[in-house]
Structure 1
Amino acid sequence: MFGDFERFDIDVRSAAGEARIHGVRGGSGPPVLLLHGFPQTHAMWHRIAPELARDHTVVATDLRGYADSSRPASGDDHAGYSFRAMAADQVAVMAELGCDRFAVVGHDRGARVTHRLALDHPDAVDRLAVLDILPTAHVYSHVDRRLATAYYHWFFFIQPFDLPERLIAGDPIRYLHSLLGGWGSGLAAHAPEALAEYERCFGDPDTRHAMLEDYRAGASIDLEHDAADERVGAPLLVLWGGASVVGTGSADPLAVWRERAARPGLVRGGAIDGAGHFLVEERHDLTLAALRGFLAEG
């Protein structure tokens, strides 16, 4: 799916322990890191990455625990799957590839890693884009019936091991399809070759467990980290699907993100019309255009 992109596996070490991160790299020019979300892999960027590689060195990785990256131990506090740990992985990968400063684009859980990466490693982040999310702490502090219904999985996945794992194991691929076909998107938004990758990875019980640990960390140690009330200093692009949960809610995504920015004037963005949560695959043309314009400003 990525043409002549080079595949790699890089061993990284941080305070969160060791991990092996799988990814692809292609193109030349200013570096940009692409981070996927749940329940996907770096394959979600297969339409956008080759286009960005015309002007950029593009790196797309699998987050720790996902797809072909390793699945380190989580720990009793789930710190092994915190956004802080995942962000440290990505900084180490980019340094190994010779990129000490770069742009970051993240979708869903990858966007939450992007947010934490910009807070923990401000010297490494030239600019960042977050796709179809509101900040984790904001989501948990503004839960109502509508949001709890749409994001029920946030509360299902954080239940103690191994109840969610056992229930999902009953029919994992059908459950995966319900996720990929939800949140304002349809299953047909995903190309067959990308869908096959998601199915391959979600079919692995160890990978599913690691994904749930990501959510367990999001409801515990990640909120502790967010309590520091740090602000993003780099230019920030916020995109969301017009038909997604974010796009149809009562909150103004730009206003919410400007509250988390050291310089609110550097926050811009808008809705991608005709797209739900999976805007990168549903409307890759509009998403690509928005990203290209933003990255060109660097």
Structure 2
Amino acid sequence: MADDGIAVRGLTKIYKNVRAVDDLSFTVSPGRVTGFLGPNGAGKTTTLRMVLNLVRPTAGTATIGGQRYADLTDPIRKVGALLEASGAHRGRTGRNHLRMLCDAAGIPISRADDVLATVGLTPAAARKFKGYSLGMRQRLGIAAALLGDPDVLILDEPANGLDPEGIRWMRDLLKSLAEQGRTVLVSSHLLSEMELLADDLVIIAAGKLVRQGPVAEIIDSAGSAQMFVRTPRPEVLIAELGAAVTATVVEGGALRIVGADGPTIGAAAMRVGAEIHELTVERRDLENVFLQLTAGKADIR
């Protein structure tokens, strides 16, 4: 596939006196799933709407493969988007809803059945939309986004309404699409799921970029893992580890140690005869890092 990445440069949106998005710049690369994260009111949905030319920026640009969405000659075949659960006529079946979209876009109506199968809705294809659950509506919205077999997917909270099995299905689908070389940008509040799904992250708060990079790199940048140690001779062990580590006693009498890994602690304990009764590691996860990076920066609008 060609370079179909997303480039956001100096994007700004001001509503009256509120800067919903403030000089925001980031890139989304093909062949990877990029998670778009931020607290409530951070400006995520406004940003996605500007990328899709649904909202006019106050300043800055957003391009897909080097072009504005509005300038794409055949956008449905270039970009698939889901910004909210699919809105279809309540009395229309899922299959007929997609066939109508196919007809309007000049896509063979057989494509409707293809994408229904992709999202697991074939058994419900003949059911009317009014009988769809929220999770089924999300799947139908993703099916609509896939109709044009697009190179780029932009999804806002696509896991809303999905049960655990559905969330796992979503993860597998988006990963497989990225592996095909597509650009996948996903906004979500499910941080544990984003840690499993995303290759890269873009984290914003109050309309501004906080951090961008690979998931592991962002998690590692938050600091070393914490080690918890139980020993009858904590003072001796702390003295042997020296000033390079930080050790504090936590509830229950265990030592919380930052700056030394398990083998280092074990070797120090052996040297001074400090018997180890328990040694556990608490690794950083995305939720902890996200809260640390965005602490005090949330801006409820």
Structure ranking higher on relative contact order (CA contacts 8 Å, 6+ apart): 2
The two structures have a TM-score, normalised by structure 2, of: 0.28
Instruction: Point out the structure with the larger helix share.
Output: 1
Instruction: Point out the structure with the larger strand share.
Output: 2
Bigger Rg, which one: 2
The two structures have a TM-score, normalised by structure 1, of: 0.28
